Amino acid sequence: MPSREDILNARILVVDDNADNLELMCEILHDGGYRDVSATSQPEQVCAMHRQHGYDLILLDLQMPGFNGFQVMQGLKEIEQGGYLPVLALTAQPSFKIAALEAGARDFISKPFDLMEVYKRIHNMLEVRLLYRELAQYSRQQQALALHDALTGLPNRRLLEDRIGHVLQHAARQQNKAAVMYLDLDGFKAINDTHGHAAGDAVLKQVAQRLTGCSRKEDTVARVGGDEFVIVMGSLNQLDDTCEPAAKLIEAVARPYLVEGLELTLSTSIGVALFPDDASEVNPLIAAADGALYAAKRSGKIAAALRKQCARSKASRKSSRRSSAAVWAAGAAWQRPLACPFPYFAQPFPHAGGHHAHPPCPAPLRCGSHRHRRKADRWRGKSFLVHHRANAPAPARPVPATPDRPA
């Protein structure tokens, strides 16, 4: 319930074309302890004033020349979309009382004024108005909680699906593509187990801020699980358009996290599904990105295991002209700041359709790709897989020659 202080601090507007009545009502309100009272004798200005200040109560004279109280209430209805019109009608005509209530006024005060009646009706009106506002604010908060993650403030899965639906509709109208990136954090469970859930929550908040900072304003960043995030990108021309954003996300997540004096590190895996290539509906597209994420995590290997694969990739690129789709496994072996000697490659993936080939993934990612283990009948379209292994062992350094150890 609103407190007495809330009621006395409510914003009140008095509207009357008679200067004496206007002055009398303002004096009554000030004597009653009300602190925020405004007045006007220009009824045509009421709607603009209410739109600017949002009054909690409007004491409105019904009989005014030119622009009467009923016309004012009609204009106020366009502002108060919630349906609650904070109008207390002032009238000397008994026949106007019912008409005022039918026009939207919540109550009325008869002229000449009875002081006790004025105070009681104003108090009751403000109490109801402020309670209505509290309930409306609570409803908005509950709705926000239902659509957003309580820890990070990011959209949750329910809002995410709605956003993806809008992005897909726009992509279909513009005849372009959209992408869903599915991320999870490698090593997050160890942080939770070692340093506690409070540290884990702090890391998740920082991850959410970094992902949002690396994304475009029009993109949606959502948290869909404990350490799982989804990013929705629209207005894309091809799969290659997701390479640079994915690289930025990997670099952002890989930076150290300072939590309670500790420096913690994480890595991330990313699976990307493309609309309409992989799926044309919301849930299948999310599932395709999740599947790409799973494949990216399985395909990670240390740098020493990449030599054979890189050799295979050269041969596979020559035959990729026959492929209509490809799965990219871009990443693995992110090491200190040493450049990985193995280049990116696009590994073709057999699929029914026309000819399609992908160029190698550009910088700033530094390391090679891995053989994709899934069979052709488990995929429909292209998926861009990114795997980041921050803890991969560094390549062996040459041992300098000594007199007792020849080079």
Q: What is the rounded distance in angstroms from the CA atom of residue 339 to the CA atom of residue 368?
A: 11
Q: Would the CA dihedral through 17, 22, 24, 28 be positive or negative?
A: positive
In this predicted model, which residue has the larger pLDDT, 70 or 336? 70
Q: Phi-psi region for residue 120, left (φ > 0), alpha (ψ -120 to 50) or beta? A: alpha
| Long-range residue pairs from 256-263, CB within 8 A, at least 24 positions apart, any chain | 257/202, 257/203, 257/206, 259/195, 259/199, 259/202, 259/203, 259/206, 260/195, 260/199, 260/202, 262/195, 262/199
Q: How confident is the model at residue 332 (pLDDT cuts 50, 70, 90)?
A: very low
Q: What is the rounded distance in angstroms from the CA atom of residue 145 to the CA atom of residue 268?
A: 27
- Which pLDDT tens digit goes with each residue over 289-300? 999 988 888 775
In this predicted model, which residue has the larger pLDDT, 241 or 366? 241
Show Cβ contacts of residue 63 under 8 Å, excluding neighbours closer than 6 positions.
69, 91, 92, 93, 96
Q: What is the rounded distance in angstroms from the CA atom of residue 375 to the CA atom of residue 56?
A: 66
Q: What is the rounded distance in angstroms from the CA atom of residue 374 to the CA atom of residue 296?
A: 11
- Which pLDDT tens digit goes with each residue over 84-96? 788 999 988 888 8
Residue 98: per-residue pLDDT: 87
Interval 48-66 mean pLDDT: 92
- Which pLDDT tens digit goes with each residue over 99-132? 888 888 889 888 888 899 899 999 999 998 888 8
Whether the pTM exceeds 0.85: the reply is no
Interval 208-236 mean pLDDT: 95
Residue owning tokens 């990729």: 320
In this predicted model, which residue has the larger pLDDT, 165 or 331? 165
Residue 358: per-residue pLDDT: 39
- Phi, psi angle pair for 349, to nearest 5°: -130, 120
Interval 291-312 mean pLDDT: 53
Q: What is the mean pLDDT of the chain?
A: 76
Asked whether residue 145 carries a pLDDT value surpassing 90, the answer given is no
**Mind listing the domains of the chain with CATH numbers?**
4-142 (3.40.50.2300), 148-387 (3.30.70.270)
Show Cβ contacts of residue 176 under 8 Å, excluding neighbours closer than 6 positions.
234, 235, 236, 237
| Cβ atoms 70, 99 nearer than 8 A | yes
Q: What is the rounded distance in angstroms from the CA atom of residue 238 to the CA atom of residue 233?
A: 12
* N-to-C CA span, the chain: 85
Residue 186: both structure tokens together: 């490698």
